[in-house]
Structure 1
């Protein structure tokens, strides 16, 4: 005769499996547009503030935005720790793959098992390929983010078993979005790095770190991996203000560094795809679509391209964009929310330009 403990344990596992299969059914219904009727069990994201949904809320760093006016257009106007007025690309990408509409932060202490089963973001605002970038900001490095993924795998295996854990890990989508802070902050603002490297050698160093990360992610079971290129970081408002001169022009040196790294990343992704024929390594060009949005703003419904919506729009970001700052009332007219991060509308436009024609390459 079964003990009460065994009966409760059995009931708990039945509930977990029921929730898991309901999620798969719902996800299948919303994933009809995926190639060959593919289904994606989960989406996992690694990176920086562009895709951090609030992990930095739970670590000791000044790189935070869990206060108004951030989140003004999020559900209920809640400042979740997303560096925008609303959703960020990690959320939008999860929806595009038919998984869910909001991708939670892994470090959220209130995260539920069902959230884990369908994916999370490990991203940390202020992180970079360069380990020094994360150290300067006291945030979670890519190595730390991989450690969190390892921990994640153990938690899921304990909950649903090894077989289901393997299925989730092998069939999920992995997105990497990082590198802007390496160029805009670490290299531009840290004399030590400029003494060590010129731009060609620094981008080689970044590529080496990127390759190391991607190889480790593959070793941990990732098979459908997409990596965003670095956007035209020299055109964000803060870079224009600090280095763009009287007319706040785009900083060409930063944009050229991004382009150089991106060209190297493109070929590295191709090489990784040949080396690991059982995986899909998808290069996601965000540089050119971002430039197109800035140069042809009216085509996408934007009027303001070189100022953020928060405060003066020239320099406010993070703790400088706070409840004391006024924000624009016409947020949909702005490419940028603060002086470094785009608005939710821009993220939707950019995510579609970058990803819609590339989804098939993950399968």
Structure 2
């Protein structure tokens, strides 16, 4: 009798494990089917950094409260009250949150859906951001990606890895610091004395092309490359330049427009010269400008100062440890002196994912993922 009970319990347990295994495999199949890209690899600065600078000797860190107040109260290193544009774009593509390259979690299967290589204060130029300490330049981010490829090669056959990279998405959001923490920071850099605005932009685009070409040579074939937003409208530049209410700092905006014009031309050139790849230009400038111009229709009531910051426009000094942020965070376009709020990041991600050609050219991220 006792033996029959034991056998019955054993059969029930066995059946349970079988059903659990079937269910788990089914879940994995569904999860895999929901993925629109094989992986996403991110290169950028503090707009996209999700914790890499936590491991550097840098003043550009966001691993303290109140950063992350809407990210489960966890200051992960994201320069936001909550999610970044990359987090939201990953959600739309069916991806899990990406590990930061420098994080101990960036190992094994955790890197299969992608890695975030972005570093706060980093720029296209090597010297950009040195006023804030250590950072991972664009060139070094590309080299870090190349070193990670060796780990992926150990897990995949050659052709499998090639197909994986072709179906992956590279997101590059870079260039803002080359102005804010270089060209416009005349007290620390002599760049503006050496280069005219046109010559400086030419230099940036030339270096940009070199690194994008390096990523292409490593096997990536789908690129979303975002332009610079209206720098003169962020709280820091409004405060620094004593911009009258309702206006932005014109020089910073003019430099951003000059850079974006050449970047868009570069992307057209890349598409012409590399017919086996697709390069998409993200028109960040117009996307952000539209939010600022039509704030109320997007649900924002404050578009000229940070939610967390000190001084004019809450932008002279950025969000400090244990600062008390505003309560109506979702009504602020800007979280701190330099960065969009979580609410603005969500809108920008949606525009990149499914926006019209005027915002995402020549196609959007959703269309690119379907190729």
Q: Give the alignment's TM-score, normalised by structure 2.
A: 0.85
Shift of 1:181: 1.1
Deviation at 1:24, TM superposition (A): 7.1
Name the counterpart of 1:86. 82
Look up the match of 2:208: 210
Alignment match, 1:25: 29
Select the structure of larger CA radius of gyration. Answer: 2
User: Contact 2:131 / 2:181 at 8 angstroms: preserved in 1?
Assistant: no
Distance 1:354 1:220 in 2: 24
Of 259-268 and 241-250, more deviation after overlay is shown by 241-250
- What is the CA-CA distance between 1:189 and the residue it aligns to? 0.7
Give the root-mean-square deviation of aligned CA atoms.
1.9
Residue 203 of structure 1, CA deviation: 0.9
Q: Distance in 2 between matches of 1:24 and 1:254?
A: 48
CA contact (8 A) 1:334 1:343 kept: yes
- Alignment CA distance shift 1:59-1:309 (3 Å): same
Residue in structure 1 matched with residue 181 of structure 2 by the alignment: 185
Shift of 1:120: 1.2
Which of 113, 138, 144 in structure 2 is aligned with 1:142? Answer: 138
Conserved in 2, the CA contact under 8 Å of 1:244 and 1:250? no
Uncovered stretches (5+) of structure 2, i.e. residues with no partner: 1-24, 356-363
Contact 1:178 1:230 in 2 (8 A): yes
The one-character-per-residue Cα deviations of 1:268-304 (angstroms, maximum 9, x if unpaired) are: 1011111111000111111101001111100100001
For residue 216 of structure 1, give the secondary structure of its aligned residue in structure 2: helix
Matches within 5 A, 1:216-231: 216-231=214-229
For 2:280 and 2:28, locate their aligned partners in 1 and report how far apart those are by CA, in whole Å: 24
Question: How much has 1:247 moved relative to structure 2?
Answer: 4.2
Q: 1:157 to 1:251 in 2, by over 3 A?
A: same
From 66, 70, 75, give the equivalent of 1:69.
66
TM-score by length of 1: 0.86
Q: Distance in 2 between matches of 1:242 and 1:248?
A: 15
The equivalent of 1:314 in structure 2 is 315
Cα–Cα, structure 1 residues 322 and 244, in superposed 2: closer, same or farther, change >3 Å? same
Q: Is the 8 A contact 1:24 1:41 kept in 2?
A: no
Runs of 5+ unmatched residues, structure 1: 1-20, 32-38
Name the structure 2 match of 1:294: 292
- Is the contact made by 2:233 and 2:248 (CA closer than 8 Å) also made in structure 1? yes
Q: Does 1:57 align with 2:44?
A: no
Say which of 25, 35, 43 aligns to 1:46.
43
SS in 1 for 2:127: helix
Alpha carbons 2:233, 2:249 under 8 Å: kept? yes
Instruction: Please give the per-residue CA displacement for 1:22-58, whole angstroms capped at 9, x wherever unaligned.
Output: 8973444324xxxxxxx41100110100111101111
Compute the displacement of 1:321 (Å).
2.1
Instruction: Write the deviation string for residues 113-135 of structure 1: whole angstroms up to 9, x where unpaired.
Output: 22200001100011111222144
Cα distance 1:26–1:114, how it changes in 2: closer, same or farther (>3 A)? farther
CA gap of 1:233–1:262, structure 2 versus 1, over 3 A, is same
Distance 1:181 1:314 in 2: 16
CA pair 23-283 structure 1, distance change in 2 beyond 3 A: farther
Give the aligned partner of residue 327 of structure 2.
329
Contact 2:44–2:117 at 8 Å: present in 1 too? yes
